[in-house]
């Protein structure tokens, strides 16, 4: 073979390789570095759990039961963990043994020191026993969370595959295209499909794909059916029939998602009502009698008993109920996280003093700490000077000692109760300010991108029409930008047009250039994928470009309509949860604090009046005297401590309900969750603070009007 022939063969070989492995669809780094990508994709919690389980298995190997081993292995595979079922059970056993040992140690040390503790060691030991079952099932929890996150991208995944295969009937390249434009766990799942072929676990992509789809059979049958329809389009000989089958695949996914979400919304009202009643309303109303419980039961119930019940046990139960609600949430609908690609993502997460970045966490901790220190003022003052007290409400309905320590059972005064309100307020404001400042600028960018995506389908349709009229793509961008002037889509197209005209870039670089590309300022997977489709279609003909863009526009409109219908279905439930967070829970808890404060004031006043009239006169007061003999006034739980327990419960319930509401409405959307947490924590806790403050002042004023001994007989 002469040199000229070799040159010709070499030339066309390079062209063919470029067509098969274009740089935007290069195989070189797609799945070869799967392990590195896996470590980057796994969250810190899952990665740390994986290492702990592997270490625990080396220290103490506990074999999982046969019936549980298969389930654990399935969950481990779903969330891409490099561990064994025995590792999960070993970690659970080792950690539980450690907790039980700590409980026994505390009990033994307290007994040796002469002040035996029963309640706290017993609670720790019981918690250790419960942890065995809970920790052994952590892979199931991570797998369910993974499923929920992966399901967010399923509709877009099918859309990208269908759109790519409309102009290039190649399933492997379509899956790669989709994996590059969807986020989170589903992208990693698709990379794992190729990885399994590379390591010879499966011979073909189809075998690996079919095996992966089986993992969704229990949860999302329409996702499997859509993929099977897409696969069947490869065998259609007629172009029209092939396109029809592809569109049917997308239609199956959309209709299946809508039907399942409709049934989910219909069945959600009863669980949400149960959650509100058992987790919020009844526990808070039950708090009214708890200040008296310590007195009637001779001091057996202390404030820390109530704290464990309300601030540990009840939140865990509410979280468990909410988790069960999320488990039944249909897959295939949710929000994507693309803002991490924004060039100023890290900058927006901080606030700036001049040019100096200040961490939002630092600001939240600083403000929260200052308020917390003020909340602990009564305890600090008593520790420094036990005899210190004053009366700033002299000659008013709130007259009395401001702090009022009785024996060693904490402050009873109205002033101490008012200072105590600052403790939950400080915790909530610290967290709320951190999340609010961290997400404030990013949520504005997200809203801008959402507005752009809402109108982008119309812009794509116009662009497709221009290209269909035989106008070059480079000029079509400028014409559409002029027609859509002062709109988000118009601004995006104007950036593309300016890069082409002023910088001499081609269409690809005008959009995707690492330094000046228009996509940098608009990090949207929807926009990015549509532009990739445009560039890929442009390699064939303007007609294919026009058809692809107009079809993509139509598909996006259909998806948006389904999403809007789904939001309408959930509107009543989401509205109910928001009112529960922002209004009902804070106002009920605030009133309860006011009533509890009044009860404590009345009991204290009763004790003072009985002390003044003497024991013999008390015994002659009939039923009221019997009440005094039953009650131990010094064992009443102070409002200061009681309010801290209730306030922390309000903060915890606000966080739990916010997470639940965000997950029901949007799936896994971390940015919106942080923004909602910041807004709800500040709003609900400030409202609780105001209601409790007014309640304490008003109800204590009413309590001081009561003269119990004046109505006693004799």
333 φ/ψ angles, rounded to the nearest 5 degrees: -140, 130
Question: From the CA atom positions of the chain, what is the Rg in Å?
Answer: 33
How far from chain centre, in Å, is Cα 19? 42
Q: Model pTM?
A: 0.76
Domain residue limits, the chain: 1-27, 34-149, 152-235, 445-556
Supply the pLDDT for residue 2: 57
Q: How far is CA 552 from CA 156, 161, 490, 548, 690, in A?
A: 12, 11, 18, 6, 52
Instruction: Provide CB contacts within 8 A for 495, sequence distance 6+.
Output: 510, 518, 521
Contacts of 620 (CB under 8 A, 6+ apart): 713, 714
Give the mean pLDDT per block of 10 residues along the chain (714 residues): 58 51 45 55 68 87 84 84 87 90 86 76 84 84 80 80 82 84 78 82 86 85 89 87 88 82 78 80 75 60 80 86 76 54 62 78 91 88 76 64 67 82 92 89 80 80 84 85 83 88 86 83 77 78 80 76 75 79 85 82 68 53 51 70 88 89 77 88 92 87 64 46
In whole angstroms, give the CA distance from residue 360 to residue 438. Answer: 6
Alpha helices (runs of H) in 469-514, residue ranges in sequence order: 473-483, 488-503, 507-512
* Dist. CA 84–CA 461, nearest whole Å: 51
Predicted local distance difference test score (pLDDT) of residue 681: 92
Q: What is the pLDDT of residue 218?
A: 81
Give the pLDDT confidence score for residue 427 in this predicted structure: 93
* Total length of the chain: 714
Regarding beta strands 356-359 and 350-353, do their DSSP bridges make them parallel or antiparallel, or are they unpaired?
antiparallel
Exposed, middle or buried by CB within 10 Å (0-12, 13-18, 19+), for 459?
Answer: buried
User: How far apart are the C-alpha atoms of 644 and 391, rounded to whole Å?
Assistant: 23
Closest C-alpha to 535, from 506, 557, 500 = 506
């Amino acid at each position: 073979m002469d040199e000229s022939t070799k040159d010709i063969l070499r030339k066309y070989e390079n062209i063919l390789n470029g067509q098969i492995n274009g740089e935007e669809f290069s195989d070189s780094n797609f799945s070869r570095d799967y392990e590195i990508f896996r470590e980057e994709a796994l969250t810190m919690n899952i990665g740390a759990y994986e290492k702990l389980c592997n270490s625990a298995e080396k220290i103490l190997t506990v074999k999982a039961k046969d019936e549980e081993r298969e389930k654990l292995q399935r969950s481990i595979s779903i969330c891409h963990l490099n561990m064994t079922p025995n590792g999960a059970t070993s970690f659970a056993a080792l950690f539980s043994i450690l907790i039980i040992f700590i409980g026994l140690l505390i009990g033994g040390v307290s007994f040796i020191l002469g002040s035996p503790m029963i309640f706290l060691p017993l609670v720790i030991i019981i918690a250790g026993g419960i942890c065995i079952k809970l920790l052994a099932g952590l892979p199931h929890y991570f797998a369910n969370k993974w499923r929920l996150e992966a399901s967010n991208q399923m509709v877009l995944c099918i859309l990208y595959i269908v759109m790519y295969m409309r102009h290039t009937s190649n399933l492997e390249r379509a899956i790669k295209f989709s994996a590059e434009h969807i986020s989170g766990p589903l992208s990693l799942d698709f990379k794992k499909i190729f990885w399994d072929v590379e390591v010879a676990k499966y011979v073909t992509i189809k075998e690996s794909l079919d095996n992966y789809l089986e993992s969704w059979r229990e949860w999302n049958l329409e996702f499997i059916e859509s993929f099977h329809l897409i696969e069947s389009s490869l065998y259609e000989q007629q172009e029209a029939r092939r396109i029809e089958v592809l569109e049917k695949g997308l239609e199956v996914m959309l209709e299946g998602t809508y039907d399942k979400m409709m049934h989910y919304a219909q069945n959600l009202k009863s669980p949400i009502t149960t959650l509100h009643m058992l987790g919020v309303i009844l526990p808070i109303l039950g708090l009214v009698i708890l200040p008296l419980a310590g007195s009637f039961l001779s001091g057996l119930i202390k404030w820390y008993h109530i704290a464990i019940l309300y601030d540990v046990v009840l939140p865990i139960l509410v979280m468990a109920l909410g988790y069960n609600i999320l488990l039944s949430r249909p897959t295939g609908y949710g929000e994507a996280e693309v803002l991490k690609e924004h060039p100023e993502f890290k900058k927006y997460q901080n606030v700036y003093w001049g040019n100096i970045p200040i961490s939002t966490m630092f600001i939240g901790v600083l403000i929260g700490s200052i308020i917390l220190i003020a909340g602990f003022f009564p305890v600090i003052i008593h520790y420094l000077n036990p005899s210190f007290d004053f009366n700033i409400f002299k000659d008013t309905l709130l007259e009395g000692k401001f702090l009022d320590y009785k024996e060693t059972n904490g402050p009873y005064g109205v002033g101490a109760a008012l200072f105590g309100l600052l403790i939950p307020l400080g915790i909530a404001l610290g967290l709320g300010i951190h999340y609010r400042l961290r997400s404030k600028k990013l949520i504005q960018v997200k809203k801008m991108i959402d507005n752009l995506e809402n109108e982008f389908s119309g812009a794509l349709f116009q662009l497709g029409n221009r290209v269909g009229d035989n106008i070059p793509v480079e000029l079509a961008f400028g014409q559409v930008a002029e027609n859509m002037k002062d709109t988000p889509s118009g601004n995006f197209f104007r950036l593309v047009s300016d890069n082409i005209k002023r910088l001499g870039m081609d269409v690809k670089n005008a959009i995707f250039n690492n330094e000046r590309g228009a996509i940098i300022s608009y990090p949207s997977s929807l926009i990015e994928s549509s532009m990739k489709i445009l560039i890929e279609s442009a390699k064939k003909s303007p007609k294919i470009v026009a058809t692809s863009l107009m079809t993509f526009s139509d598909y996006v409109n259909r998806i948006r309509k389904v999403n809007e219908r789904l939001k309408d279905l959930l509107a009543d439930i989401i509205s109910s949860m928001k009112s529960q967070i922002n209004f009902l829970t804070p106002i009920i808890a605030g009133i309860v604090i006011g009533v509890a404060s009044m009860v404590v004031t009345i009991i204290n006043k009763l004790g003072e009046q009985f002390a003044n009239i003497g024991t013999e006169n008390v015994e002659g007061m009939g039923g009221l005297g019997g009440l005094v003999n039953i009650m131990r006034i010094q064992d009443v739980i102070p409002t200061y401590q009681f309010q801290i327990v209730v306030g922390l419960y309000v903060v915890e319930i606000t966080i739990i309900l916010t997470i639940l509401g965000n997950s029901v409405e949007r799936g896994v959307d971390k940015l919106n969750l942080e923004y909602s947490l910041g807004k709800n924590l500040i709003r609900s806790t400030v409202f609780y603070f105001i209601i409790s403050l007014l309640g304490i002042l008003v109800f204590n004023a009413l309590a001081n009007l009561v003269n119990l001994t004046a109505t006693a007989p004799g």
